[in-house]
Structure formats: structure tokens, C-alpha cells
Structure 1
Amino acid sequence: MNLSRLQKNFESLAAEDPLWTVLSDNSKKGGLWDPEEFYQSGEDEIVSLEQRLAHFGISLSGAQALDFGCGVGRLTFPLSRRFDTAIGVDISKSMIAEAENNLGRGKSCKFFLNTNDSLSFLEANSLDFVYSDIVFQHIAPRYSKRYFAEIARALKPGGTFAFQLPSHYTGPSYFRKRFGYFLKRLQQATGSGKAYFEMNGIPLPKLLTFMEQGLSLQLVALWDYPAAGENWQSYLYVFRKPNK
């Protein structure tokens, strides 16, 4: 799926049910998310991440953090309570507008709409920490790798990049799944299809080679992170940019 199609999908989903589009609990579909519960889930996630990273000597503190694929700011706001500034970036204009409507939930937050595979608004060596959850799995790997390179450029020496991404599909009939995506894209092209989540992964060995050899980032840790559903093997990766 190209980025223009991805943007169109998420604009459609966000217009219909923005909170469920970010955190797709089927029991909350149809506008059933309580906003306070929804945003508290973001704080709970960052607390859990903070505790886990502490075991590797990584502190969630510093000048500037980035929430990539921020949606409505569920994770941006808790990051803003740990960093001087928290930046949220998303491909959906509707999501960014909703995040800005909730600025009171955080402090010193900045939100950016970005619809291409460059993050040129980020200065080189400007970020202490980058986090992304339940985002790259919806982006075609060719674009994810470009974003990884942009994030590596923007990280400060010693900065940390933590993100969730599936490695490989484990469910029945991979080819049937891909054919299903093809049919959905065809239906959209003819104006008869609905927006949908496309799932993607990058095999763990290929990802490590790209990040370590291609971008010179160092793997700190990885652990099972089943955010992609029962049919995908998914991990939470933690990389660091070496100090010069």
C-alpha cells in the first residue's frame, strides 16, 4: 500500500471512529471508548515501558521525544510529562486535529502532519527518545525503512529508538491473506470498498541487518510483544545510536 492510500484509509477510519482506529479493541468499536480510559491506557503503557527500559539503564527523560504515528496523542501526552518537549507526527490530518483538541492532557506538545516518507522537519541529532507502537505494522516495509533512516538521522548520539513491529505471519494461508488485501485495494479503486488495516512485517534477521549495518544503530533489547494479533510474531525492539 502506498502512502497516499494509507493516508486515505486512516482519514476514513479516523472520521468514523478515531479512538478505536488508534486502539482497536473490538469491544470499544462504534465510539464506545471512554476518553479517560483511552488516554489512561497510554499512560499505563509508558509506565510499563519506562520500568522495562530501566533494566537496561535507559531513562525516559531528556529534552525531546518523538511519538511516531501519534494518532490522537495517546502516547505523546504521557511522554510530554517525562521530556521537556514531546513531538507527535501522523499521516492523518483528522488525527492531528483531534490531538490538538486535547492539548490540555499534556505539556509542551507539538503535533505535525507528515504525508511523505521524509521527516525533514526534524533536525539532525535533536531527539533523545523515539517511540512507536502499533504503527509500522500498517506501513509497507519500503516506507518503514525510510522512516527508520530518518529517525536515525534525527536521534542524538546516545539516543534511543523503541518500536513495535511484526517479524512474520504465523496464521493459516498467507497467500489467502495477501489475496484478501488485493481484493480490498481493488474494491477501493472502484469506489466500492471500505477502509481497512493492512498488516506488514519485516523478518527479524533482515531488520537487525538493516538497523545495525545499514543505519549503525545498536540493538539494546527485544522482547515478544503481541500487539499485532495472534497470527503474527511481533517484537518490541530497542536500539541506541552510538555516542561519537
Structure 2
Amino acid sequence: MSPARSTDDHWERWGREDPYYGVYAHDSMRRERLTADALDHFFASGQTHIEGVFAYVRRYIDPAFSPRRGLDFGCGTGRLVIPMAGLMDEVAGMDISSSMLDEARRNIDARDLHNVHLLKSDDALSQLSGSYDFIHSYIVFQHIPPERGQVLFQRLVKHLAPGGVGALHILFGKTFHAANFGQTPSSFHDRILAVKRGVHRLLMRLMGRKAATEPEMQMNIYDLNTLFFMLKTAGVGEIHTTFEDHGGEWSAFLFFRKP
């Protein structure tokens, strides 16, 4: 199996073993520490996020923005699908992990939502049909190798209806590599990962324990020039961008309207 394809298996393991930590990597989200209060905060943060996205779109792109059909790509446990469902007639949540989708379904059913469809993702987005007025993805593409993610990005744009709005979040640089303008030097990621695994195995042996192999969580950088070219090719005339810094991981949240 290629390294790019193995990320699907890692994400399925996150969904099966520790789904909320896989979505939001904070110790309070670990399965063994997860509390009702932590879950309430988790879902409240999703509500705040979607409200902020809609406010931004209405301020800078379309004051009358009121989509009827939306998609959250990389929906995980449903943190953002749930508030989207309260704002649209129909919402689809798509994820590569069947276990994540199972958890999302439990959360959706617990809230008695009937306008949400959950779809299994693949590189062809084969379960997507028709077009969407709003396509959203947040802290997702960074976990997908760019050679696959760029194709998915382009296909998502194709599923955006004329006049529809896209809100897609992309990691573009790391302050750790400031001398290289934020770009990861060739093979650096593989070397660091090998060192981390070796140190972990050594510590486990010293403690007399078998080394546990936690799923990997990649943080992949994308070339914004490539994505801008795709958007321009699709006829997009303007892109509105907000920058975010997650512990030295620099990202751009791209907002655009398809003509």
C-alpha cells in the first residue's frame, strides 16, 4: 500500500479508537478522559464556527447568503454538520472513515435531525450527486497527501452550483521551517516520523511495555498557487482569505463564489 493510501487506514483507526481526539487533538477529547461537559464544548465550538462562516460570507461575498443544499467534506463526528443542518434544507456529511460516520450518525440521531445524509468518501467522490449551494471543509485537507487532496479540491469545486459558495481550509506553511518560507524540506517529514517512532519504541522498552502504535496524523502543506489556478480555471473571480495559526501551522481559509 502506498504511503498516500495508508492515511485512509490511519483515519479509520482514529474513528474506531479515538474519534473525538482525531477531530480535535486536545487531551480533553481522549476517549478515556471524555466528559459530557467536554462534548458540550466540542459541539458548541462547531456551532460558533458555522455561525462565523455564515457571517463572513454575508459580509464579504453575498449579503443574502442562504443556501439550501450544503456539504461538509471531512465531517468526522458531525461537529459542523449538525449546525449546518439547522440552516439548510439538506446537508451531506462526507468522510473517509466509516467509524467516524457511524459516530456522526449517532450524534445526528440523538438530535432528531432528518435532513442530513452521510456519505463515504473516496478519491472520485463517487457518492456525491448533483450540485451544492455551499461546500465547506475545515482542518481536513491537511490530513490528506496533496497529490490526492488537490484532485479532491478540484472535484469539490465542480460540485459547487453556479452562484454557490465554497469555504475550504488549507495548510500552507509551518513557522518551524521559516528559513524555507514555511515549506517542509524534502524527506524531512519522513525523517522526523522515523525518529519519533524510534524514541517511542525505546521508551516503551525501558518501561517494560509493548510499544503501542497510535495512528499517524499527517499535517500536509499545499501549494496555494495550484489551488488558485484551479479556482481561476473554474471561473472564480475573487477569493477572500483569512489566515490562521494553529501552533505554528499556518493555514488559509479560502472563501469564494462560483459564477
1:127-177 Cα deviation digits (max 9, x unpaired): 000110010011111111111221122111011110111112221594444
The residue matched to 2:254 in structure 1 has which SS?
A: strand
Q: Does 1:224 align with 2:230?
A: no
2:133 partner amino acid: D
Matches within 5 A, 1:80-159: 80-104=85-109, 105=111, 106-114=113-121, 116-124=122-130, 126-159=131-164
Does the CA-based 8 Å contact 1:17-1:31 persist in structure 2? Answer: no
Does the CA-based 8 Å contact 1:168-1:203 persist in structure 2? Answer: no
The residue matched to 2:117 in structure 1 has which SS?
A: strand
Structural RMSD (CA) = 2.5
Residues 46/184 of structure 1: CA separation in 2 closer, same or farther (3 Å cut) = same
User: What is the aligned length?
Assistant: 234
CA distance in 2, matches of 1:219, 1:14: 36
Q: Does 1:201 align with 2:221?
A: yes
Does the CA-based 8 Å contact 1:184-1:194 persist in structure 2? Answer: no
Gaps of 5+ in 1: none
Q: Which has the greater radius of gyration? A: 2
Q: Does 1:241 align with 2:253?
A: no
TM-score, with length taken from structure 2: 0.81
| Partner in structure 1 of residue 191 of structure 2 | 179
| Partner in structure 1 of residue 40 of structure 2 | 36
CA distance in 1, matches of 2:237, 2:81: 25
1:59-91 Cα deviation digits (max 9, x unpaired): 552221000000011100111111100100000
The residue matched to 1:39 in structure 2 has which SS?
A: helix
Gaps of 5+ in 2: 201-210
